[in-house]
Chain A
Amino acid sequence: MPADAPPSSEEATDDRPVAIRTSDLTKRYGDDVLAVDALDLTVYAGEIFGFLGPNGAGKSTTIDVIMDYVRPSAGSVTVLGHDAQAETRAVHERVGILPDGYGLYERLTGRKNLEYAVELKGTGDDIDALLDRVGLESAAADRAVGGYSKGMTQRLALAIALVGDPDVLILDEPSSGLDPNGVRLVREIARDHADRGKTVFFSSHILSQVEAVCDRVAILDRGRLVAVDTIAGLRAALDAGSTVTLTVDAVPDRLTLGEVAGVDDVAVDDRTIRVRVGEAAAKVDVIDRVRDDGAAVLDVTIAESSLEDLFSAYTGGSSPNRDGPDAAGPVAADADGGTR
């Protein structure tokens, strides 16, 4: 699975096989809508890659180009070394997609829908095994899809994406319409897929889902890439660690917490000590040190800085669950999922 694309500066430091690479990818709609703006993104084989951003950030447009639903205005995309636009067949034989704004054949049963996909992909999958994997019961699979709930439809679409055990699984907002069990199922499927050496590209505007499952995350805002890192790396980069709050019988006169490695800030208020730490290991050290200094610890609470905080910091304060681009600049517009 070699990457045929010319080496970029990033590849010079990392020669793992590449699953998806976008190079200077730009997509304009008309004159004033810039849905994706010079996006350079590399997803390595075998990782679960989170693609995060508010609605309308350009996530679905990027996936649309990866799948050749839409043609780029500039730049290019390769999937497993194949050009997404010129070698569509080669790409689609090895990719499974749960697209944004998809539909199924409502007059056909779930089983027929799935059989059609298996036949077109020529992979000979066991239909019942696929249904079982996404938690669709046999009785439900024999009913027409027109009567399905959103969650059942989503499960069936997920089963179609899994046809042929694709090397790259692209999931665009896979958890929408699913109950908590379904959300967990999506995570399990993503992990299971990655455990077998395959790649998962997981797009979402819901932070907790990406946080829970992804090895690395890209944050997209108004068509531009604003960050790519591991969740831990993003936290560290933002200096947004945890806050340990201790309730003590009496604050010692001589508090030596500032000497503990990993402690960034200490604040004392009455019988409460708030300590901001940048490293996980420092939390226990903080408690030990307060005891050593002579205080009895009555209570401890630890607050992780949420990914929401992180996200807001990166996207200039725009709330991650925001539906419309009303607070966004002139270029974000509705070219992406925001219209649906």
Chain B
Amino acid sequence: MTASGIRLTIARKEFGDALRSRVVWGIVAVIAVMSSLSAALPLLVPEAGGGPEAAIGGASQFAGLLVPIMSLLAAYLSIVGERESGSLKMLLGLPPSRGEVLVGKFLGRGGAVVVGIASGFAISGVITAALYGELPVAAFLATTALTVLLAVSFLGIAVGISALTATRSRAMTLAITAYLGLTLLWDLAPNGVHLLVTGELPGTALPPWFLLVRGLSPTGAYNALVQRTLLGGAATDAALGGPSPAYLDPAVFLAVLLVWGALPLVVGYGGFRRADLS
């Protein structure tokens, strides 16, 4: 069998496993419920104001916190679980190479997560349209696509962790660390840096580097891109109190998301390729 055939065979099995284990259905349900609720929030609390764009923005806030957890949960055991159970020995005793196993896992689990997120968003899109009588389709689709990209980014991190570690518990420790560090702590980091540099917490006018630092985590880059999609470049200019520099271009944040997906995979493969699996 060809190398790509082997990768696809592994990916197909991983996708099937994810469907069977209800990971995908969990993702669909959580995304649909949370984003529908946040879409309904402006209607329930009219003072908050806002139309369907604000509803999508609210949904993306939830997604920014939940999607990384889902990706990590869906894949942090993908390789190390098989390593600990010994099924990896059977798998690698067959023709697949370690690289093909890694890519197959990434594609299969990635496919499952992507399908789950897209379905969840489709449901909440219908609900949003029903609640507001309209749906800004372009902004909605762009936000869905960005959320998928965020999921893929954390999937790369999860598979990378799974390839690099020898035990489940170690993989779990790293996955939790990655989530807390990249999703929660990183959001606070720019404030700390601001305090150190200027001696005070950031006020109304933010320095441009502040937005860059905040956007260097996958979640930060995702938030920056969603904001840009929903509010346009003017919002950034307003926050800065002037025109934004080139390094705050959306392409930079897009690159950040992609690098966060790819780099852990490469590092994980490097460790996995050399590991003794006894």
Contact = CB atoms under 8 A, between A and B. Distances in A.
Contacts of A116: 9, 13
Given A61-B278, A69-B276, A107-B20, A102 B95 contact: no
Given A70-B276, A71-B274, A120-B1, A104 B90 contact: yes
B262 interface: no
A269 B150 CA distance: 89
B65 interface: no
Contact of A101 (B89, B91, B276): B89
Given A93-B95, A117-B94, A120-B96, A103 B89 contact: yes
B46 interface: no
B5 A160 contact: no
Contacts of B95: 89, 92-93, 120-122
Contacts of A142: none
Contacts of B4: none
B21 A101 contact: no
Given A89-B95, A120-B9, A121-B94, A107 B17 contact: yes
Contact of B93 (A89, A99, A106, A122): A99
Contacts of A103: 82, 85-90
Contacts of B90: 97, 99, 102-104, 117, 157, 160
Nearest to A163: B94
Q: Is the interface of B mostly helix, strand, loop or mixed?
A: helix
Interface residues of B, number: 27
A192 interface: no
Contacts of A67: 89, 92-93
Interface in B81-109: 82, 85-97
B23 interface: no
A71 B93 contact: no
A148 B10 CA distance: 24
A60 B97 CA distance: 20
Contacts of A97: 89-90, 93
B6 interface: yes
B17 A89 contact: no
Interface string A75-100: 00000000000001100110111010
Contacts of B5: 122
A100 to B, nearest CB: 8
B150 to A, nearest CB: 29
Contacts of B20: 107
A95 to B, nearest CB: 8
A69 B87 contact: no
B276 A71 contact: yes
A65 B87 CA distance: 17
Nearest to B87: A103
A119 B97 contact: no
B92 A69 contact: yes
Nearest to B273: A71
Contacts of B89: 67, 69, 97, 99, 101-103
A95 B86 CA distance: 18
Output the residue of B9, B85, B87, B93 with the most chain A CB within 10 A. B93
A308 interface: no
B189 interface: no
A285 interface: no
B191 to A, nearest CB: 45
Contacts of A119: 9
A119 B96 CA distance: 11
A70 B1 contact: no
B41 to A, nearest CB: 39
A97 B88 CA distance: 12
B248 to A, nearest CB: 46
B277 interface: yes
Contacts of A122: 1, 5, 95
A312 B85 CA distance: 35
B6 A92 contact: no
A34 to B, nearest CB: 14
Interface string A243-256: 00000000000000
A264 interface: no
A219 to B, nearest CB: 22
A64 interface: yes
A27 to B, nearest CB: 9
A157 B85 CA distance: 14
A73 to B, nearest CB: 10
A279 to B, nearest CB: 43
Interface in A16-65: 29, 60-61, 64
Interface string B267-278: 000000010111
A88 B87 contact: no
Interface of A: 29, 60-61, 64, 67-71, 88-89, 92-93, 95-97, 99, 101-107, 116-117, 119-122, 157, 160-161, 163, 335
8 contacts: A88-B97, A89-B95, A92-B92, A99-B90, A116-B13, A120-B91, A160-B90, A163-B94
Interface of B: 1, 5-6, 9-10, 13, 17, 20-21, 82, 85-97, 274, 276-278
Given A97-B90, A120-B10, A121-B95, 9 more contacts: A60-B278, A64-B276, A64-B278, A71-B274, A89-B97, A92-B92, A102-B89, A103-B85, A104-B90
In the A-B complex, the 5 residue pairs with the closest CB atoms: A103-B86, A122-B1, A103-B85, A97-B93, A103-B87
